[in-house]
Amino acid sequence: MSLRIHHEFVIPKDYALQRLDQAVATLLPQYSRARLQQWIKDGALTLDGNSVKPRDKVFGGEVVVVSVEQASETDAAEDIPLDVVFEDDNILVINKPPGLVVHPGAGNPSGTLLNALLAHSPEVAHIPRGGIVHRLDKDTSGLMVVAKTLEAQNGLVRDLQARAVSRIYEAIVYGLVSPAEGVIEGAIGRHPVHRKKMALRPEGKEARTHYRVLESFDEHTLVECRLNTGRTHQIRVHMQSLGYPLVGDPTYGGHYRRPRSGDAWLEQTLKAFNRQALHAKKLALTHPVTGKKMSWQAEPPEDFLELLDFLFGG
């Protein structure tokens, strides 16, 4: 199944001497400039019937024709339950459970969030990446926003790049975090040896995490982390860099540690916690279509709450 995209319009005179890609990005705001540039390069966007380059100037009065056959992914739809926190015609906010992979890939060809989205909202089949504009690791739970239209996707991506979307996480880490509040800055890139891991790398991408202690226990700390950037495994790498790896995250130093208290129930719970103790609890953004400021909050899943209960002495 495919979607036919077709637009035909005249460049207004007051756009004279602008670059073609700049002009059409303003006239077709529902598409990203990068996508329009690619259509121009592919010959799917023509000017007066001619193939052109993104940097070519326009003078006003030219006829732009966009003709694209866009494949969809509807065959990949799977009826997987979703915890929908909010939904309208443009965006969808979900509370992702731990264990759910976001995108199909090697070892996970199906049973992913994308497969579930294609069944829940078939219209996302015609949006790149099924409308997914940011992701959570497989074993991280919590809030994610998904675009249901191209206009919404373009707006959300723009706001994410401008760091105008607030994402706040809760994590349970080994050790007593000190100081109680701070900012972790350290560029993150691919690990030089273990290619599935990330690491602090001087040549990596800028990364900044704000953290503050919510509760201190005998040997563990509940911390709140606010992302200023959104790099792969950012919180996991940054907290490890301070010497406070996430519980249940052996990839980044969070191997099981027997509690000194000898509490058998806590020991059993820590042993059974087989994912990083990380939950995306709060999400706030400006709606990409209505301009309304919106926010949501989702409590951590049962395993996270059970661990907290035992840390509190329950």
Provide the H-helix boundaries in 28-100. 33-42
Task: Tell me the C-alpha to C-alpha distance, in Å, between residue 117 and each of 49, 73, 101, 138.
Answer: 38, 11, 12, 16
Residue 259 to residue 79: CA distance in whole angstroms: 41
137 is catalytic: yes
Q: Are 199 and 237 in contact (CB under 8 A)?
A: yes
Residue 236 to residue 252: CA distance in whole angstroms: 7
Tokens of 108: 């996970």
Q: What are the φ/ψ torsions at residue 310 (nearest 5 degrees)? A: -70, -35
Q: Are 235 and 140 in contact (CB under 8 A)?
A: no
Residue 150 to residue 108: CA distance in whole angstroms: 26
Residue in 21, 48, 89, 137 annotated catalytic = 137
**Residues recognised as catalytic:** 137
